[in-house]
Chain A
Amino acid sequence: MAKVIPLISAEPNKLYRITEVTGEDNQHRRLVDMGFTPGSELFVAGVAPFGGTILVSLRGFSVALRESAAETIKVTAV
């Protein structure tokens, strides 16, 4: 079993699998509604200059998340 890390510390352009999504109700629901369900695979497509915001790709689309959301998504390397 690979190490579980928050998405914010994931390496760019490497595949990860979601193990868990935590966080406050509203934001959490939005994330799972968008497809951040445990078991789905994703990768970080880019990091914004000056940091803090990352671009995440999954299920064929990309979405920009701030660290407050990216921290709640726990992933493990595939």
Chain B
Amino acid sequence: MNEYDYKIALVGNPNVGKTTIYNKITHSFEHVGNWHGVTVSASSKEILFEHNKILVTDVPGLYSLTIYSPEEGISRDYIYDKNENLIVDLCEVNNLSRNLYLTLQMMEAGTPLVIAITMMDELKRHGKVLNYRKLEKAIGLPVIPIDDRYHSDVHLLLSVIIDIIDSGVKSTFDLPYLSELPVEDISKIIQPFAEKAGIESRFAALKILERDSFILEKLSLGEEEKKKIEEIGNWQDRLAAARYSYIDKIMDGVIVSSVSLEHKEMHEHTAHDVPLNETEDESSKSEDYHKKLHDDIQRRKRLEKRGYSGLDRVLLNKYLALPMFFAVMLFIFFFTFSDYSPGWWMQEGLSYVFDDLLHASVEDAMLSAGIWSWLVSLVCDGVIDGVGGVLVFLPQIVLLFLFLALLEDSGYISRVAFMTDGLFRKIGLSGRSVFTMLMGFGCSATAVLTARGLEDDMMRKKTILLTPFMSCSARLPVYSAICGAYFALSSGVNFKALIILGMYFLGALIAISYAAIFNKIKGLKSGSLSFIMEMPPYRVPTPTRVFQLLWHNAKAFLVRVGTIVFALNVFVWMLSDFGIGQVDGNLVFGYVGDYDPGQIKSFLEYAAGAISPLFIPLGFGGGETGWQAVTALLSGLVAKEVVLASMESFGGAAAIFGSNSPAALAFIVFTLLYVPCIATITAIRKEAGVKWMLANIGLQIGTAYVVSLIFYWLGVLFVAQTAVALSIVIALVVLVPATLIIIRRLRKKNRACNSCPYCNDCNKTLCVSDQDLES
């Protein structure tokens, strides 16, 4: 018995807009973005459409049924299992021929199909039209062009789908190119095996021609058959070429320029070919000149046809690409965090509302009504200061997510992955890892998931391990609050913004250093990668989408603050404001504020006090308030926002660290580097296993401790002997890389060239063959 009336799955190449359609159909908010491989797992949802219960499934994108990366396997299984009534094959109109390649493969497999063509709006903008009836006739499948911005188009798609399923779905197709291939010969050889495995023999034969290991394994052929097939030879290229030439035949005349564009082109042409005001003596050289101009235009047109983009020429310029990327990142940070920036004004406004308006008026009202002092403290210090202290960062966090979304949706982030690949390959990662790490600036837990698109397993796990070092948006409030209290504007230098920016750089620097170190360790070296990623076209993010994204992120943040942060905050407040102690020889239990200072200790003071001595070397574990700093860090394990909430309910940064500003600095460094939150740890366990999760916890806490220690003592020295501290920092910055370079040089010099046949006393510092051996 089937509990659904219909079951459909959305399948197609990566970045064709499957999830966008899925979100529209099911009113979901699955993550979408303008890059390849956003969706890494299947998600299903039941909808009710015209009194029919339909189960809609969205799967990761795939290029071919013969898979290359693990998430493509999920989609392949959906196609092979044939549990769906219909597979909706989404094809992007800009890239139709490559999309149809997968369509052909599914037709070979006998999949029940309908083709939906997306991004129709972009085609219109390029002044072209799609003759979908012609395509329908040529390929023998129903074709529905849709514009995913409109609900009406999605509605149409669903109606047509139901109609197609009801009127019976075709699942055998006539594919003329198959006769050019030795399909029949192989089919005869493998017939009995295919029957046993339950695979159609014609399809199995095709997969054998492709050397698809998945199908080969399923068939489990005998030695004799294997030999026979080996004799037929390698047909991979010819099969692909046959499919593509069939596609070219189908596509002939399907996409044509609309009349208006032809008109425009004609004008351009005339303008170049008939020069105005031409004088006699110029005419001889101008013939050459105009021929060249004409050739240039023709050349450009041919390049454009194959995906040339003028924007890429600038943004991917060999020398300008990286500086431009850094400029973009700096702009984002200063726009969001620095004093007097838009982000700062919004945050100041909200803090005024919470601190000066809400806190003061509620406290006055409650006290004058004669409510117990502990309840006043709970509401004002615990809830309003704690939760409010986190809430004021809503604008900055939303701004950060907005910028990340713009990077993602415009298609720029894939270019970043491309341009940084040259650098990152040297440390055993790829540009694809940079991508995951950039997403880590938003949220570590979700960024970890984006690593799935990385094909090399070791590289993927290392990326997952190191991504939490990137400063996520939840850590930002801690830096901002502490820097606001300790490192505000002084002598014209905006130290606050610099320190916040420094935290982001420090996190990234540590992740990169670890990657470099890991790549030197034998068991942790990455495999080689050949295929990085496809570049999406540049797109202008639509206002609706940006607004949706802002609202979604703001909502997620508010929900977290309203639930986890609030609950934990009340819990921490209770444990820190109630306690037991000896008063006049009697053991008493009660509200700490009701007794003289020092008479009774709160529960948290006992608990966190037990481990706080560990943090004395970092400057913030000792003294009267040491346990408060440690409590804040411990509660931050649940979610990093709670670090600040706890601090605020203890009276804010200034009350905890007093005049010890190096300790405050060490505290933010520790916050940056220690284990991000339970959600991230769980995600790491799920993605990479328990071993890597434990490694991550150990690595992060260890790194946090050591680096904070260094920062604390440098800070102490800076306060006491500014000049000495500065010279040590400069010396370190200059000396460490210098020593590393010298050591490398020396090692290379000392090592003999082991495969140079030309001379025996060679002392070259660099040997090509040697490097090859290394890599």
Is the pairing of A and B real?
Answer: yes
Residues of A within 8 A of B (CB): 13, 15, 21, 25-35, 37-43, 45-53, 55, 57-66, 68-69
Residues of B contacting A59 in the complex (Cβ-Cβ under 8 angstroms): 95, 97-98, 306-307
- Which of A30, A45, A50, A61 makes the CB contact (< 8 A) with B422? A50
* B285-315 CB contacts (< 8 Å) to partner A: 299, 302-303, 305-309, 312-313
- Which of A30, A39, A48, A60 makes the CB contact (< 8 A) with B64? A30
Distance between B575 CB and nearest chain A CB, rounded to angstroms: 53
Cα–Cα, bound, A32→B759 (Å): 44
* B403-432 CB contacts (< 8 Å) to partner A: 417-423, 425-426, 431
- Which of A26, A38, A46 makes the CB contact (< 8 A) with B68? A26
B256 proximal to A (CB < 8 A): no
Q: Are A29 and B66 CB-contacts (below 8 A) given A51-B422, A55-B418?
A: yes
Q: Are A29 and B535 CB-contacts (below 8 A) given A49-B318, A66-B530?
A: no
Size category of the B interface is 35 or more
**18 A-B contact pairs sorted by A residue (CB < 8 Å):** A13-B313, A15-B299, A25-B236, A28-B236, A32-B236, A34-B63, A34-B98, A35-B101, A41-B302, A45-B307, A46-B418, A50-B426, A57-B306, A59-B307, A61-B307, A63-B531, A64-B417, A66-B532
B535 and A69 contact, CB distance less than 8 A: no
Cα–Cα, bound, A7→B450 (Å): 30
Residues of B contacting A33 in the complex (Cβ-Cβ under 8 angstroms): 63-64, 66, 101, 240
B519 proximal to A (CB < 8 A): no
Cα–Cα, bound, A74→B417 (Å): 25
B716 proximal to A (CB < 8 A): no
B244 and A37 contact, CB distance less than 8 A: yes
B728 proximal to A (CB < 8 A): no
B529 proximal to A (CB < 8 A): yes
**Main SS of chain B's interface residues?**
helix
Residues of A contacting B431 in the complex (Cβ-Cβ under 8 angstroms): 48, 53, 64
Cα–Cα, bound, A49→B415 (Å): 12
Q: Which chain B residue lies CB-closest to A45?
A: B312
Given A37-B237, A53-B418, 10 additional A-B pairs, CB 8 A? A31-B531, A46-B312, A46-B418, A57-B307, A59-B95, A61-B95, A65-B531, A66-B529, A68-B528, A68-B530
B530 and A65 contact, CB distance less than 8 A: yes
Q: Are A57 and B68 CB-contacts (below 8 A) given A35-B97, A65-B532, A66-B530?
A: no
Residues of B within 8 A of A (CB): 63-64, 66, 68, 94-95, 97-98, 101, 210-211, 236-237, 240-241, 244, 299, 302-303, 305-309, 312-313, 316-319, 321-322, 417-423, 425-426, 431, 528-535
Cα–Cα, bound, A64→B431 (Å): 10
Residues of A contacting B241 in the complex (Cβ-Cβ under 8 angstroms): 32, 37-39
Distance between B257 CB and nearest chain A CB, rounded to angstroms: 15
Q: Which chain A residue lies CB-closest to B305?
A: A60
Distance between A42 CB and nearest chain B CB, rounded to angstroms: 6
Cα–Cα, bound, A33→B423 (Å): 28
Residues of B contacting A46 in the complex (Cβ-Cβ under 8 angstroms): 312-313, 316-318, 418
A52 and B240 contact, CB distance less than 8 A: no
Residues of A contacting B531 in the complex (Cβ-Cβ under 8 angstroms): 27, 30-31, 63, 65-66, 69
Interface centre among B101, B533, B535, by most chain A C-beta atoms within 10 angstroms, is B535
Residues of A contacting B306 in the complex (Cβ-Cβ under 8 angstroms): 15, 41-43, 57-60
Residues of B contacting A52 in the complex (Cβ-Cβ under 8 angstroms): 421-422, 425
Cα–Cα, bound, A18→B324 (Å): 33
Distance between B502 CB and nearest chain A CB, rounded to angstroms: 24
Cα–Cα, bound, A64→B237 (Å): 21
Q: Which chain A residue lies CB-closest to B240?
A: A32
Q: Are A35 and B98 CB-contacts (below 8 A) given A13-B303, A48-B419, A57-B308?
A: yes
Q: Are A49 and B422 CB-contacts (below 8 A) given A58-B307, A61-B535?
A: yes
The 9 A-B pairs of least Cβ separation, nearest first, read A50-B422, A69-B530, A57-B307, A32-B240, A33-B64, A46-B316, A64-B532, A62-B535, A48-B422
Residues of A contacting B98 in the complex (Cβ-Cβ under 8 angstroms): 34-35, 59-61
Interface centre among B299, B302, B421, by most chain A C-beta atoms within 10 angstroms, is B421
Distance between B90 CB and nearest chain A CB, rounded to angstroms: 16
- Which of B97, B237, B316, B423 makes the CB contact (< 8 A) with A55? B316
Cα–Cα, bound, A50→B431 (Å): 12
Distance between B715 CB and nearest chain A CB, rounded to angstroms: 35
- Which of A31, A49, A63 makes the CB contact (< 8 A) with B534? A63
Q: Are A45 and B236 CB-contacts (below 8 A) given A33-B66, A37-B241, A52-B421?
A: no
A25 and B534 contact, CB distance less than 8 A: no
Distance between A20 CB and nearest chain B CB, rounded to angstroms: 8
B322 and A62 contact, CB distance less than 8 A: no
Cα–Cα, bound, A18→B241 (Å): 12
- Which of B211, B244, B532 makes the CB contact (< 8 A) with A40? B244
Distance between B235 CB and nearest chain A CB, rounded to angstroms: 11
